[in-house]
Amino acid sequence: MYTSLNAAITDAEARGLRLSELALEAESLDQGRAVADIRDALGRALAVMREAVARGAAGDLRSASGLVGGDAAKLRDGPAGPLSGTPFRDVLMRALAVQEVNAAMGVIVAAPTAGGAGVLPAVLTGLADARGLSDDKLIDALATAGLIGAVIAERASLSGAEGGCQAETGAAAGMAAGAAVEMLGGTPSQCGHAVALAQQGTLGLVCDPLGGLVELPCVFRNATGSAIALAAIEMALAGIEFAIPADEVIDTMGQIGREMDVRYRETAGGGLAATPTGRRLARERLYQLKRQ
């Protein structure tokens, strides 16, 4: 698999291929699996993603602690905002839905992780459904997202405990942005700019879950991460170029993660987890968990 997005983009443009084609070709060679077989596996992941969106949108789930649940349904049925009726609101709803399923110990696709699992299904299925695109296009998009994620895994990290939330919802935003740009007809180079534009917006983002639960703020970070991905997609497709190449933005994310204090890496020792309300809620809810 590629360890440089710039190398993948150069190869793709030289050979007149899309990043998804390169990703499937490299995966097939690496793993000794037929491309059709890999596409089937991605198709199964897509089906689980769609089920999670539908399950969470129903609005009747609560996490074990009771801290999260039911908010996706508010975006679906609640009072209108300035973006009602647009794909933007629908994408936010889907991101919350998947994360509410995750927090309730339901079945999701960790893409790239469970804590960031809402972004890819929200952005990709939300935009594909708005445009009436086929599942084949979505499977291509997942392959591209996988290539971008593999590069991030090699050059930086996909773990909140290692790199903070920039390595989870931040990485997911980059993956979703690059994949969606290809799905919507962008060039490989535009995909690279979309990754860079999304990830520059999440640099430094800490992982600070209340009580260590993947609930607050994780559920909402998936919505805001999706919003950053949408911004990056819109800018990249408009022809905006980000001066720092995606690889260097990813390297920067890795460097910031290595320098990030342990309190901001999933330990619940800092950030929102350490606020008076954060500590109180964690204390009350964890106590409840122990009594169950």
> Residue holding tokens 């170029």?
241
CB of 241 to other proteins, least distance (A): 26
Site string for other proteins, 23-42 (x = CB under 8 A): x---x--xxx-----x--xx
- Judged by CB under 8 A, which of 143, 173, 184, 253 binds other proteins? 143
- Judged by CB under 8 A, which of 56, 160, 164, 178 binds other proteins? 160
d(CA 109, CA 142): 12
Of the two residues 93 and 124, which places its CB atom closer to other proteins in the complex? 124
Tell whether residue 274 is a contact of other proteins (CB under 8 A). no
d(CA 189, CA 12): 9
Tell whether residue 240 is a contact of other proteins (CB under 8 A). no
Distances (CA, A) of 163 to 168, 245, 268: 8, 20, 14
d(CA 193, CA 232): 8
241: alpha, beta or left? (left if phi > 0; alpha if psi -120 to 50): beta
- Judged by CB under 8 A, which of 92, 111, 246, 249 binds other proteins? 111
SS3 105: coil
* Helical spans, DSSP H, in 166-275: 169-183, 188-200, 218-237, 246-259
- Judged by CB under 8 A, which of 268, 270, 278, 281 binds other proteins? 268
The distance from CA 221 to its chain's CA centroid, rounded to whole angstroms, is: 10
Of the two residues 104 and 231, which places its CB atom closer to other proteins in the complex? 104
Binding stretches for other proteins (CB under 8 A): 1, 23, 27, 30-32, 38, 41-42, 44-45, 48, 63, 65, 101-115, 117, 120, 142-143, 145-147, 149-150, 153-154, 157-162, 167, 175, 209, 211-215, 262, 265-269, 286, 289
